[in-house]
Structure 1
């Protein structure tokens, strides 16, 4: 269930003592999402972080608001480090993602020298560790995982995370595939089409245009079951799942598909794909595969390939020029071979870094 109130500690000063390596006048605070200058500064820091880590920036204001807006604060909390002039030089965000898994955004200004930058990083990590204990205690856990990411080429981030007890645990390929206009005919109709004993269709809508709850629950159940044996899988309730995805800037109900086996007395949901739109400021938008999962019992029957063909055809019909996705470079399912065979190529590489935090400190 989504909590009525955040599980996090809202006062950063309850969790952090500024290290002596930060000069006098530096302070920690909670960012004001209603202040456009704050949002603009956080966007600048995030874009600079991306440019340094992978060579180009893609984040925008909506990505920042996803973390700091009031609508997000039931499952997220944020902190900033300000210099004596009041300029934000570092930003941390934590997300109560699922039971036992807390995501951590870690951004430090790129023009700070090593000493100041490392001191800011230490503040963000100390705060995140305190938040891990708070959310872990609220969930009744003994250990809370902090899960943060880094670009594969960001040596500064790697150095600082390793010094703070994080371990690099996984590599991810961020892939993209071009879309040609004629690929709109890749499937008969992206809204619904029949393959061999499989029907691919959008989630159904009710009279008011909202999706049917039963279809949404089936998408959730398929994905939960399909990812049970995947790396770092943590159970997420239906309410948590729906709340999180509806907040995503690219969320669209007409990008949710189900695949159902039809060779029995009743259609059986066995696959699901959740897509998003990735807006572009200087060209056609793109589509993005947020999730694709197929039940183990139905693998090898063309379900994943059919779902991918569906989102490609949908993207082409909408005039989009590419479809992106993320894949576990070490996945035992062979997903990367499927994507490569269908035309996806790796644009850049990211990493997962983890630290397990005991919820109750040892005496």
Structure 2
């Protein structure tokens, strides 16, 4: 791996919570240049820095030209640190190259420290971001999947759907047992999908508690004969920018698929968002999902508004 260098006079240091506003401004400007909107909130930035799985001192880099932030990068180790998600953001090619170098080295280091011979590195990029896609390709990444951002607008009241016969709706995870069940269902639904790595339960709980836009009151389970078989997790992530509800996750366990449970959970979310005065509902779907999720979302009136690619590289964890 070649060693990239920063332009003369540039400096870098680890981010701290006090940097969140500056990082937010940097990310917003970058995204606006690429896709025409900020697609980011201050809470998004804060959530990333306070996440218990992220150690800013070793896993983040904020680059300055004099006192002006010009680049930001992170390496987020997942699970047993055999998978790392990296983010690199700078409009300066030399800075972006330096951040890629640092993030890949940190990914290898985390894997090595955990005893792995190799690590998988994932990165997510807007399809419209030609420069970042080229940089990923230069670093031997290849596309692993594509995500569509889906949206439906609520211009009038939405009728609440009937609960599927025989099922019980459970809203809000108010105790430790309910939250354990919620986590287990998420794992059952998403295991094996691109980018999903099981988090230790306590770390998952701590992360949810730290996220500014999440609340247990927006977590919904469907139960059959006392067993949870489907879930929907919503947040206020898109309220600030677009006055929309956001579905962070939706899944049905394999044994209960094909019964209309996902359709019910979607229509239920639409009705709740419309009643709350939201302009619409937004979610992201992996187009390579083992279930026909994209077709499902289109069938209930959602439309794609943005394409994000998931890129991946597996590399040795050796120095």
TM-score under structure 1 length normalisation: 0.80
Structure 1 equivalent of residue 198 of structure 2: 235
Structure 1 equivalent of residue 68 of structure 2: 87
2:165 is the counterpart of 1:186: no
Larger radius of gyration: 1
Structure 1 equivalent of residue 54 of structure 2: 75
User: Is 1:42–1:91's contact at 8 Å kept on the other side of the alignment?
Assistant: yes
C-alpha separation between the residues in 2 aligned to 1:332 and 1:259?
Answer: 21
Alpha-carbon displacement from aligned partner over 1:11-60 (angstroms, at most 9, x marks no partner): xxxxx9652xx4422222113322xxx43332222012211222221312
Q: How far apart are residue 129 of structure 1 and its match?
A: 1.5
User: Is 1:67–1:76's contact at 8 Å kept on the other side of the alignment?
Assistant: no
User: Is 1:81–1:91's contact at 8 Å kept on the other side of the alignment?
Assistant: yes
Seen in structure 2, the aligned counterparts of structure 1 residues 73 and 331 have a Cα distance that, compared at 3 Å, is closer
User: Is 1:222–1:295's contact at 8 Å kept on the other side of the alignment?
Assistant: yes
Structure 2 equivalent of residue 61 of structure 1: 42
Q: How far apart are residue 237 of structure 1 and its match?
A: 2.3
Alpha-carbon displacement from aligned partner over 1:283-306 (angstroms, at most 9, x marks no partner): 7x3211111111110011121112
User: Is 2:146–2:308's contact at 8 Å kept on the other side of the alignment?
Assistant: yes
Alpha-carbon displacement from aligned partner over 1:90-117 (angstroms, at most 9, x marks no partner): 1102222333222212110x3xxxxxx2
Q: 2:187 aligns with which of 217, 224, 227?
A: 224
The residue matched to 1:278 in structure 2 has which SS? coil
C-alpha separation between the residues in 2 aligned to 1:96 and 1:106?
Answer: 15
The alignment's C-alpha RMSD in Å is: 2.3
2:234 is the counterpart of 1:255: no
Structure 2 equivalent of residue 40 of structure 1: 21
C-alpha separation between the residues in 2 aligned to 1:57 and 1:290?
Answer: 19
Structure 1 equivalent of residue 8 of structure 2: 24
Alpha-carbon displacement from aligned partner over 1:216-264 (angstroms, at most 9, x marks no partner): 11111111111224334433222232223333332011110101113xx
The residue matched to 2:294 in structure 1 has which SS? helix
Structure 2 equivalent of residue 275 of structure 1: 234
Seen in structure 2, the aligned counterparts of structure 1 residues 73 and 297 have a Cα distance that, compared at 3 Å, is closer
Structure 2 equivalent of residue 8 of structure 1: none
C-alpha separation between the residues in 2 aligned to 1:286 and 1:245?
Answer: 20
Specify every segment of 5 or more residues in structure 1 that has no aligned partner in the other structure, as ranges. 1-15, 111-116, 189-193, 205-210
The residue matched to 1:254 in structure 2 has which SS? strand
C-alpha separation between the residues in 2 aligned to 1:75 and 1:282?
Answer: 26
TM-score under structure 2 length normalisation: 0.90
Structure 2 equivalent of residue 119 of structure 1: 94
Number of residue pairs aligned between Structure 1 and Structure 2: 315
Q: Which moved more, 1:243-252 or 1:89-98?
A: 243-252
The residue matched to 1:44 in structure 2 has which SS? helix
Q: 1:197 aligns with which of 161, 166, 181?
A: 166
C-alpha separation between the residues in 2 aligned to 1:347 and 1:252?
Answer: 26
